[in-house]
Amino acid sequence: MSLVSISPRNCALKFKTVQNIDSCRGRGAVFLAAALLTLGCAGAPSKTGDILPTGVSGFEPVEVTGTVDLKLKGEPKSTDVVEYHHIASSRAYEAGELRQEKSEAIEFTSESTTLKADADRLTQAIRITKKDGTIDLHDFAMPELGESLELTTNTKGKVLKAGDWPTNSIFYVPAVSLPDVPVEVGDTWTMQATWLSLAEMVPYELDMVSILKGFVRCGTGTCADIEVNGNVGMQGALKQALVFRSEWRGRQLFSLEQGTVVWSRVNLEETLASDKVHRTVRSCLEAVLKEPRANSIVSEATKPQCVGFVPPTSERTL
């Protein structure tokens, strides 16, 4: 489908009833919850430091002097296993009356094997080894069961090649935002990205700010504790036809020694409205590195659960 075929008028007409309320939304923001490995403000404690991995009571602060260079690392033939838990809850209103409530959840496990690791780029083969749920994993920029995605990035996370997916798709939104230069505690950096949703070709834009909050002990190593704040909106003329807002705030633990995210969580909140129809969504995704065991910060039996997630309870939440 070309972008021309989803004009604001056609999109708004589809959205006149609750039954078609998803038709112009896409899952761009849902992917960001997964890929940006962040932690949000909806239905969760208001401070990023209040959110902890399932089964972890706290982190030990670590003092690191000077600047650090945050970059992705990998060893050829090495394999990482990550477990994900995602839950989303929505409420749809028509003329101010609640017409629909919906919840959906999914758990899945990814296995990433490093094929090549040069000084400035990494190539990994990603596959899904387990999936419990019906949500399309392509919306998370992940392969489905039975598929394999060969992903090449530079060491700062920029996607150089994502299988056969088009370069304007969500597969080319960086999965992690890393600074171009060495940073110290208190430093900030930004990231902007644009893409088209896979199903409806809706154009989205992302603005994000990351803050290095400090360093903590994670396993036998040290992790950078990063807070992320951002929002997603629609591009161009769609801004005039629809009210769409997607906001989140986040945290991720990035291993200095291993050059990878070892844990993350996101709670995202968004609203979409046209005429008398209004929809609010809250979602959470928690991801944790499970293998190699030496790099994991949770027990082998612990699974991500999005503890503390709260569904939307009112018509307008933003």
What is the Cα gyration radius of the chain?
19
| pLDDT tens, per residue, the chain with 318 residues | 222 222 233 333 344 444 444 544 444 444 444 444 433 333 444 455 567 787 787 889 999 999 999 999 999 999 999 999 999 999 999 888 888 899 999 999 999 999 999 989 999 999 999 999 999 999 889 999 999 999 999 999 999 999 999 999 999 999 889 999 999 999 999 999 999 887 778 888 899 999 999 999 998 899 999 998 888 888 777 667 778 888 887 889 999 999 999 999 878 888 888 878 888 999 988 999 999 998 899 999 999 988 888 888 765 554
101 CB neighbour count, 10 Å cutoff? 11
Per the document, the length of the chain is 318
The amino acid that residue 117 corresponds to is A
Q: How far apart are CA 171 and CA 263, in angstroms?
A: 21
Task: Tell me how far CA of residue 117 lies from CA of 23, 122, 165, in angstroms.
Answer: 41, 5, 22
β-pair type (203-218, 159-162):
unpaired
Instruction: Please tell us whether the domain made up of 3-295 is placed in CATH 2.30.230.
Output: yes
Give the residue carrying structure tokens 């990205």: 193
Q: Are 211 and 255 in contact (CB under 8 A)?
A: no
Q: Are 141 and 132 in contact (CB under 8 A)?
A: no
Pair of tokens at residue 153: 């990035």
One-letter-per-residue 3-state SS of 91-102: EEEECCEEEEEE
β-pair type (277-291, 260-274):
antiparallel
